[in-house]
Amino acid sequence: MLSFGSDESGVWWTFKLGSNILLKRFYFNRWEESFRVEYSSEGEFSVEIRPLISFRNHHDVIKAGAVPYSMRSMDLERVAIKCEPWPISLVMKLAGGGYKHESYWYYGFLYEEEAARGGNPVEDLYSPGAFTAKGRQVVFEAWVEPARRVKQTLKETPLSTYLAFNPNPLIVAGYYWFWDWCRDTMIVLPTLYSSTGDIQLVDAILERYFNSMRDGFLPTGFDEAGKPFYNSVDTSLWAAYAVYAICGQTSSTSLALKYKGKLEEVFESYKNGSMLGVKLVDGLVYHEAKGATWMDAYYEGVHYTPRNGFAVEVNALWLLLLKLLKSTTATTPELEQLQEEISEFKSSFNEHFPSAFGLYDTLRADLQPLDPHEIRPNMLFALSLHNDLVDGKTAIRVLESTRRELLTPYGLRTLNPSHPSYKPRYEGDRASRDAAYHNGTVWPWLLGAYVDGCLNYDKPSVESTRYVIAPLFTLAHSKNYIINEVFDGEPPHTPRGCVAQAWSTAELLRISEKLSHINTPQSH
């Protein structure tokens, strides 16, 4: 191989074959389930292509003989392979070539990254036969039947990478290991709307989740059979955030009015007590489940970041729901009730959450801090979602401790380095990674809350923030904003986790657009 590269259309390789240079290009059609590989050279060449087939869920591996494959020749150039119980076939074609059925297994493929992550790293792959052709250009294609095509009417943006249709639109949280998660989706939706202007698209995504609401809770996600599951305290509140933010962009309450009944169901459920041990205490949201927020790492019976109690960002989101309901309420008794809820909430929040470094992350059932020594970025949502929740001095303490303990060139640490639970690297087996996931590992998406907090309470600091996070934006610009899920907590801040994470992309796009329109005075 001589070189490798990529452009907007796909990726390419060049190889030296005797006196000729062979160019190989790979194209993936994101509007349908198909891809194409082109081989070209100035001189004539022969090629044999032997596909290696898995036909599996992306979390699984297969072993020889364990999977029932069936073949069907469609013509001299095309062949289809099917695997039970999947209801689809993979069709392969080599234009101008021929196919010879000669099936056998290739054994013992070792996936080094999977081995490093503590997964099952060894797989056998099935080869049904070989395609052969000769010429100066050879094109191999593969696609799924029955075809599931999407109308090419959507505006292309970096977030298009994460859009999938099954058959309705959804947002893939991250590649390679995630599917669609409600929380991630709701955080991404405002930026998806601002970058596409497609209100029907975002409404279709919202509708899917709201239609799956149970007892005031939106699902955390859906299993492989499409069945919703519920184990998150904040998904319904992040949905309120998405509706609130999109209404702000459209200068209309129509979306909030459409889902007002669902949002009122959320309000009543949290107020009167519901699943996950959710209830209101002195106007604040309490929950009993240990892994019900976005910091939900759990493995083999261990919750690595238990936050049962009064979580700071959950409560900031609760206030946003109250404000959203108030904006859609016209009757005086309801307005008065919501205003009383808001006043009680603000009073209780400012009585119990403020600390020497800003705001406690989580309070116990007795309203004392769960851990008075931990500094976490969740406190920023009290500043980013509101400009009237905390006083200026508290806000400055939050921002200063964030800059001192959490801010890095690639995002925010999830825990202060001086804490005993701090993990500097996100690496190793599943248990090691989960222990580090929210205990020091850097998350780019959190920069959105930090920048919004600065703009609400400390605008002069934005310029210095631009300088600190410049490396991340340099990386983002070079990758069309396709950014990793996480980075190590310590230099060189190695990128880790999913190679493309939807909320990383969305929040960087959002704050990039916001900062581009802001002239800030110099910091002193």
- Compute φ and ψ for 356, nearest 5 degrees: -65, -30
Over the chain, what is the mean pLDDT? 92
In 3D, which of 514, 400, 370 has the Cα closest to residue 451? 514
Taking the alpha carbons at both ends of the chain, their separation in whole angstroms is 54
Distances (CA, A) of 485 to 77, 341, 374: 41, 36, 23
Q: Name 369's Cβ contacts closer than 8 Å, sequence gap at least 6.
A: 355, 360, 361, 362, 363
Residue ranges in 95-153 assigned as alpha helix (H): 112-116
pLDDT of residue 460: 87
The sign of the CA dihedral 441, 220, 280, 273 is negative
Instruction: Give the pLDDT band (50/70/90) at residue 228.
Output: very high
Q: Reduced to 3 states, what is the DSSP secondary structure of residue 41?
A: strand
Estimate to the nearest angstrom the gap between the alpha carbon of 30 and the chain centroid.
18
Q: What is the pLDDT of residue 407?
A: 97
pLDDT, residue 150, reads: 56
Task: Please give the Cα distance from 267 to 236 (Å, whole number).
Answer: 10
Q: Do residues 80 and 72 lie in contact, with contact meaning Cβ atoms separated by under 8 Å?
A: yes
pLDDT tens, 50-88? 999 988 888 889 999 887 888 787 777 888 998 877 788
Sequence-distant (6+) residues with CB within 8 A of 403 are 461
Q: Which of 136, 13, 142 is nearest to 89 (CA)?
A: 142
Q: Please report which residue ranges of 150-259 form alpha helices under DSSP H.
A: 182-196, 199-210, 235-250, 254-258
Tell me the chain's radius of gyration from C-alpha atoms: 26
Which residues have C-beta within 8 Å of that of residue 322, sequence separation ≥ 6? 267, 338, 341, 342, 345
Strands 298-299 and 302-303, bridge-based pairing: antiparallel
pLDDT the model gives residue 524: 39
User: What is the per-residue DSSP string for 73-111?
Assistant: E-SSSEEEEEETT-S-EEEEEETT-EEEEEEEEEEEEE-
- pLDDT surpassing 70 at residue 521: no
Q: What is the pLDDT of residue 463?
A: 86
Nearby residues of 346 by Cβ (< 8 Å), 6 or more positions away: 319, 389
CA atoms in the 13 A half-sphere facing the CB of 127: 15
351 burial (CB, 10 Å; 0-12 / 13-18 / 19+) is: exposed
Residues 6+ apart with CB under 8 A from 434: 297, 298, 299, 302, 304
The β-bridge relationship of strands 407-408 and 354-355 is unpaired
Question: Tens of pLDDT along 13-63?
Answer: 999 988 889 999 999 887 778 999 999 999 999 999 999 998 888 888 999
Q: What are phi and psi of 499, to 5 degrees?
A: -75, -15
SS3 track for 359-373? ECCEECCCCCECCCC
Q: Which two tokens stand for residue 501?
A: 């994470």
Instruction: Express each pLDDT in 234-286 by its tens digit.
Output: 999 999 999 999 999 999 999 999 999 999 999 999 999 988 999 999 999 99
- 335 Cβ partners below 8 Å, 6+ apart? 326, 329
CA distances to 136, 234, 287, 403 from 344, rounded to whole Å, are: 76, 20, 18, 31
Strands (DSSP E) contained in 409-502 are 411-413, 442-443, 486-487, 495-496, 500-501
Which of 266, 271, 279, 285 has its CA nearest to residue 349? 285
Share of the chain above pLDDT 90, in %: 75
Of residues 218 and 97, which shows the higher confidence score? 218
CATH 1.50.10.10 domain locations along the chain: 158-519
Give dist(CA 308, CA 227) in Å, integer.
26
Counting runs of H as helices and runs of E as strands, what totals does the chain give?
15, 28
Which among 231, 219, 194 has a CA at the least distance from the CA of 308? Answer: 231
Residues 377 and 114: their CA atoms lie apart, in Å, by 30
- Cα separation, 348 vs 90, in Å, equals 59
- Reported as a single tens digit per residue, the pLDDT across 394-428 is 999 999 999 999 999 999 999 999 999 999 999 99
User: Whole-angstrom Cα distance, residue 373 to residue 394?
Assistant: 17
158-519 has CATH 1.50.10.10 classification:
yes
Condensed to tens digits (0 to 9), the pLDDT of residues 143-188 reads 998 866 655 556 788 998 899 887 789 999 999 889 899 999 999 9
Residue 523 has pLDDT above 50, yes or no: no
